[in-house]
Structure 1
């Protein structure tokens, strides 16, 4: 394959990832206008927000395997076309029920795109050094896309109705389909074997049950009956799924991959890093808007340097791996991220943006280092013909890690907030209940109070929230420092350049 087509494939893969990264973050900004336009109930609003992630997480493993069997190019183009159609359907949804269905369809389409992008890169870039560089660029684009989502959404919502945040997907879809049909090479597993049908619902139920339990725990606490029930169902399904994979000649996931130290350490690092990153992104969205009082667009622009720093970190990771090795680069990335989190503990109710900017850049570069190297290591240590399944494992770790982070670190933040909230005297009971729930609830309650009482409530709520941030970021920093040490040990001896056709024993020693 000529060089121009190879790098053209990377451009298409990056565009597809950019499409998904932006789409993951624009909906939160659209919620107020969406509620005004469609009037969903509280339950419907939760499903509108969550159904996309549920379906996406549940189908990643299955779709990664489908791509290995029918062709990664074919699946990417089919999924992109479906994503465009579902985006248009979502934009013009006329009822909450229709919006929930269209968001679920977006999740199905997104599950075909995510693993396809990584598996195409894995199969096109056969030179290990070029592959590391390509995965670093892909990771950089993903980081920038997550930061661009609030900006794109904020701009559109300032000028158009809520559905415009989904219509913006259509021009990107058109480019991917028009150019990808000619540029992308086809690749598939030459000996895919029979798809084990019972494994598909087991994987879907397992991942969905776990993610649903985590999200419910984050919203209503661990004591809810549905949390225990969904977690039990999910874990039971995953146990049966894993046992079944060990007995199949052609498993949906080759669980033996986890015996490779490099593979299992990289998946774990991605899960924990996403655990901290996604939770903190949601925390700072609230900090910018509810503490600083900035508009969604300004809040998005304020967070952009962190995403750009992540892009820089991803681009630098490849050259650093060739100099330092994989373990040191990942550990350095995690330490930098922890350092950024530690600096966040100096935030106050009054915003010092220069201080915040320094912390965001340090944290962003660290995240870029981490994800670029772990993504490449996961792909390199898996067989080339199973690239779609390997990419799906990586993305599933992202989804579970993000849900786990929101549940755990979100609970830490809420607990500190409630314990530190000193309600002013004379506050009506309904307003007090709202204020104890969340900072957003305090802002809602304050809107209906006399000015003096409202100001007192907002002051104490903001102070309690900032104190919650301090404890949460230091908790995250401690987790990241521990993970850095574990990762440095686990990735010892893994080659800087993992040979394309290395045997498992050469790629990384199995865990003993």
Structure 2
């Protein structure tokens, strides 16, 4: 019995940095912009490459764990995660950091299925296994929710690379404990890996996201954007065709034909898009516009973190008593109200209003996440529970990555259109300052024309306007989605009575 819970401690210990790394860089965006001379576009890739790569790799890494055993997969993933953390901590350019964040994601994609397989293998009794899974889920959601606060605490006292260096001693300890205390498992050599298909999926996702970002910026020729979009679409279509034809597919695409499962996937992605995208927006505005330190920005965002972290039990009770349809629709609708309220809230002069609305957002979005899990797992046939769980995990990671992309695109587009720069700047300087608030601040610091304060004031005003556009747009879209969810779940079985 002691050995089981010791294994859980090891699993939780290595899962903490994996969960935190999904959001730890949100408050570091201004710091990275200055330290690495990262453009607004590079900054978005630095942050969201982690979730996008992990979304494509988590399924084949789970198959690799079945093939070699979860202990070996945990050791391999931890080693890669620690090495990538060390490389990321000493990055000297944005491209270096993007590459090392991709390696981090591959390591994390090994760790996550290894931890779940470890729990499933170690705990034979259902009661103990459910408790262990509850602890695992709490660590995952809590780590992601409190990532900005952890990042802020480290940046307050150390240089930005410390958010990665802190992973290294944890990983070394976990590898030592795993090698000595965790029993070895027998793998199944006949298990297919489908790595080529996974790489094709990742390339398709990245090409589609890149083409969307480029189209919104309007800088590249249309034929380049259209060609990239076409290649990404063809790769995605090929992936779907291969999954439908395969005897042991990575993803059972036929599950998407079930309206309830499809609704659950949409809810999961939307909830992650709103939570992750909002945290990134907030972190930049609080620091660039209102002068908060990274740690103060993390503390200011505590309401959304606490509400999302502690909403699970309450949301579970609501699903049981009110039914999935009402909780799912209500979660989306309340998130919409939160965004609409936050779009007209001034964070410096109305902190209490901002705090209440953020708490409402954290609770409602996390409730929608739980409702999505209930929808997917309840609608899937018992023999396809594992496939449904894989779809759910992928939806979470893809939603997290798309949250950065979607909010970043709306912000950058609105910022470029609303900024009113002073006269006397060259066309190159106007282009630089209009690309992002970080670029505008960098131009002001380097400017020798005496216009620094006017550039900064224009950038702050434009970002506040952009924040209103982004949040109100998200609010309207969530209202539309809530209506769609209400009708799509109309025929779902409800355990409310």
For Structure 1 versus Structure 2, the TM-score category normalised by the shorter chain is 0.7 to 0.9
Which range moved further: 481-490 or 189-198?
A: 189-198
Contact 1:210 1:235 in 2 (8 A): yes
Which range moved further: 246-255 or 111-120?
A: 111-120
Inter-partner Cα distance in structure 1 for 2:81 and 2:379:
30
Inter-partner Cα distance in structure 2 for 1:279 and 1:47:
13
Q: Deviations over 1:433-473 (max 9, x none)?
A: 33322222332333355898444443343223222222221
SS across alignment from 1:19: helix
Name the structure 2 match of 1:508. Answer: none
Pairing partner for 1:58 from 56, 62, 65: 56
Contact 2:30 2:288 in 1 (8 A): no
Inter-partner Cα distance in structure 2 for 1:179 and 1:206:
38
Name the structure 2 match of 1:434. Answer: 432
Instruction: Note closer, same or farther for the CA distance 1:230–1:426 as it changes in structure 2 (3 Å cut).
Output: closer
Name the structure 2 match of 1:348. Answer: 346
Inter-partner Cα distance in structure 2 for 1:188 and 1:321:
39
Contact 1:147 1:300 in 2 (8 A): no
Instruction: Note closer, same or farther for the CA distance 1:78–1:324 as it changes in structure 2 (3 Å cut).
Output: farther
Contact 1:64 1:389 in 2 (8 A): no
Inter-partner Cα distance in structure 2 for 1:82 and 1:118:
18
Pairing partner for 1:108 from 103, 106, 109: 106
Name the structure 1 match of 2:330. Answer: 332
Instruction: Note closer, same or farther for the CA distance 1:186–1:392 as it changes in structure 2 (3 Å cut).
Output: farther
The within-5 A match list for 1:76-155 is: 76-92=74-90, 101-117=99-115, 140-155=138-153
1:396 pairs with 2:362: no
Pairing partner for 1:267 from 248, 252, 265: 265
1:369 pairs with 2:371: no
1:358: Cα distance to partner?
Answer: 0.8
Count of aligned pairs between the two proteins: 495
Contact 1:265 1:491 in 2 (8 A): yes
Which range moved further: 104-113 or 284-293?
A: 104-113
Name the structure 1 match of 2:414. Answer: 416
Name the structure 2 match of 1:378. Answer: 376
SS across alignment from 2:246: coil
1:364: Cα distance to partner?
Answer: 0.4
Q: Deviations over 1:163-209 (max 9, x none)?
A: 32212113443565566679989999999764556644443433343
Q: Which runs of 5+ in 2 are unaligned?
A: none
Q: Deviations over 1:213-272 (max 9, x none)?
A: 345456666855554333322221221222222222222221122233332211111122
Instruction: Note closer, same or farther for the CA distance 1:64–1:218 as it changes in structure 2 (3 Å cut).
Output: farther
Instruction: Note closer, same or farther for the CA distance 1:178–1:368 as it changes in structure 2 (3 Å cut).
Output: farther
Pairing partner for 2:472 from 448, 452, 474: 474
1:115: Cα distance to partner?
Answer: 4.2
Name the structure 1 match of 2:157. Answer: 159
Which range moved further: 31-40 or 297-306?
A: 31-40
Contact 1:192 1:250 in 2 (8 A): no
Pairing partner for 1:488 from 486, 489, 492: 486
Inter-partner Cα distance in structure 2 for 1:134 and 1:494:
30
Provide the TM-score with structure 1 as the length reference. 0.80
1:353: Cα distance to partner?
Answer: 1.3
Which range moved further: 43-52 or 276-285?
A: 43-52
Inter-partner Cα distance in structure 2 for 1:21 and 1:451:
45
Q: Deviations over 1:398-441 (max 9, x none)?
A: 34434444444433333433333333455555543333222223
Inter-partner Cα distance in structure 2 for 1:470 and 1:178:
49
Which range moved further: 329-338 or 372-381?
A: 372-381
Which range moved further: 88-97 or 39-48?
A: 39-48
Instruction: Note closer, same or farther for the CA distance 1:208–1:430 as it changes in structure 2 (3 Å cut).
Output: closer
1:476: Cα distance to partner?
Answer: 0.7
Contact 1:140 1:313 in 2 (8 A): no
